[in-house]
Structure 1
Amino acid sequence: MTVRNGKRWNHNIHYHPRILRAVPDGAKSALDVGCGEGTLARELRRVVPHVTGIDPDAAGLALAREHADDIVYVEDDFRTHPFEPASFDVVTSVATLHHMDAAEGLTRMRDLLAPGGVLAVLGLARSTMPGDLPRELAAVAANGLHRAAKEHWEHPSPTVWPPPVTYPEMRALAAELLPGSAYRRHLLWRYSILWRKPRD
């Protein structure tokens, strides 16, 4: 698909700036969990010297590796790959947690993060009706405006729908596993979690 102005857009990319703003000053290493074809990993590489992307999807990684850069791409499940604990200054994850047990995924991300490092998650959760109906209608309207002005890019990675965890359940899980984390629900069917790992 031809992309207007050379820029891709979808609901995940829309919130990439929130992830990138969370990268701490002086970060030397980043892990992008569920990196797919590398869109966020390449954005991270502009501000972090050493970036690793990991994903079990070989097709997506093949597309990522077509770019001429020094990002390390690993074809594996990050939950079992033998990364050293506490070895990354930044761990990011976009639209990945709903592919697995969310508690297991968050715990593993937390363990891979170095003290003082930042975990930045963008995810999908399930709306609940009828309470979420006004928010859903607002999201549909906002999505229509964005699509009228931008060319929607469909990522090549596998999808899971519906998400197994609701927004309130995800908020509670973040509070339990990442004390002091900032959880935010976003309009375009996403939530974010930002958390800095204590140094002691």
Structure 2
Amino acid sequence: MSVRSGRRWNHNIHYHSRILGAVPDGAKRALDVGCGEGMLARELRQAVPYVTGIDLHEPSIGQARAYPGDIDYIVGDFLTHPFEPGSFDVVASVATLHHMDAADGLARMSELLRPGGVLAVVGLARSELPGDLPRDLAGIVVGQVHRAFKGLWKQTSPTVWPPPVTYRQMRALSAEMLPGSQYRRHLLLRYSVIWRKPREHGASAG
């Protein structure tokens, strides 16, 4: 943890604001996929009354449960856990989608969203060289500056490297599976996808 800021920092935490800024007004239920030790889930709980975090890594869930708060933490695989379809207003995920087949992950997230709900993903993808090299070098330099001032918090959850899908492939997949989604590639070696699930035809706008 950074002594100067008093707040944890790493490349994933840096983009939590992308998730939190996408939470729709009036959201009541949120799911944090691959929640780890629960930092994003706790932040979501500031805006959403009912938050569930799910992760396959039992030690991380144990750490999450050690924090005070009324968040429901589950050890399990969100692809197969018996959540009811359409039961969440927000489905969020940070640095998790590359641990699974990306198409399967996006399809399941979409299924769990109610009509009008928001999917918000921050993820890692693989660079393509030499074309991505200038952007990657810039990201490394800026990341080092952040680290010098804020420190670097290292997560204890399992990691996967390299990511199986490239940024270009992730952008194309998002456009195909989530029409109208907002894909953005970020400087600090991350991308984000924000998507609002269309309301059912003929449904009330309320």
TM-score by length of 1: 0.98
* Segments of 4+ moved more than 3 angstroms: 1-5
Aligned: 1:143 with 2:143: yes
What are the superposed Cα offsets for residues 96-131 of structure 1, whole Å, 9 maximum, x if unpaired?
010000000000000000000000000000000000
Residues 15-94 of structure 1: matches in 2 within 5 Å? 15-94=15-94
Paired with 1:2 and 1:128, the residues of 2 have a C-alpha distance of 32
Paired with 2:132 and 2:150, the residues of 1 have a C-alpha distance of 26
1:3 shift after superposition:
4.3
Match for residue 104 of structure 1? 104
Letter in 2 for 1:67: Y
Letter in 1 for 2:107: T
Does the 8 Å CA contact 2:182/2:194 hold for their aligned counterparts? Answer: yes
Aligned: 1:9 with 2:5: no
Paired with 2:140 and 2:124, the residues of 1 have a C-alpha distance of 16
Residues 169-180 of structure 1: matches in 2 within 5 Å? 169-180=169-180
SS at structure 1 position matched to 2:139: helix
1:166 shift after superposition:
0.2
Paired with 1:26 and 1:114, the residues of 2 have a C-alpha distance of 13
Aligned: 1:155 with 2:169: no
Distance 1:55 1:189, change over 3 A: same
Paired with 1:41 and 1:192, the residues of 2 have a C-alpha distance of 17
Does the 8 Å CA contact 2:91/2:113 hold for their aligned counterparts? Answer: yes
SS at structure 1 position matched to 2:84: coil
Identity %: 70
1:4 shift after superposition:
3.5
Does the 8 Å CA contact 2:12/2:122 hold for their aligned counterparts? Answer: yes
What are the superposed Cα offsets for residues 56-79 of structure 1, whole Å, 9 maximum, x if unpaired?
100000000001100000000000
Letter in 1 for 2:123: G
Does the 8 Å CA contact 2:53/2:74 hold for their aligned counterparts? Answer: yes
TM-score by length of 2: 0.95
Aligned: 1:189 with 2:189: yes
1:2 shift after superposition:
6.2
Does the 8 Å CA contact 2:84/2:112 hold for their aligned counterparts? Answer: yes
Paired with 2:140 and 2:31, the residues of 1 have a C-alpha distance of 32
What is the aligned residue count? Answer: 200
1:39 shift after superposition:
0.5
**Structure 2 spans left out of the alignment, 5+ residues:** 201-206
Match for residue 203 of structure 2? none
Paired with 2:188 and 2:144, the residues of 1 have a C-alpha distance of 11
The alignment yields a C-alpha RMSD, in angstroms, of 0.9
Paired with 2:76 and 2:3, the residues of 1 have a C-alpha distance of 30
Paired with 1:197 and 1:54, the residues of 2 have a C-alpha distance of 21
Paired with 1:84 and 1:4, the residues of 2 have a C-alpha distance of 43
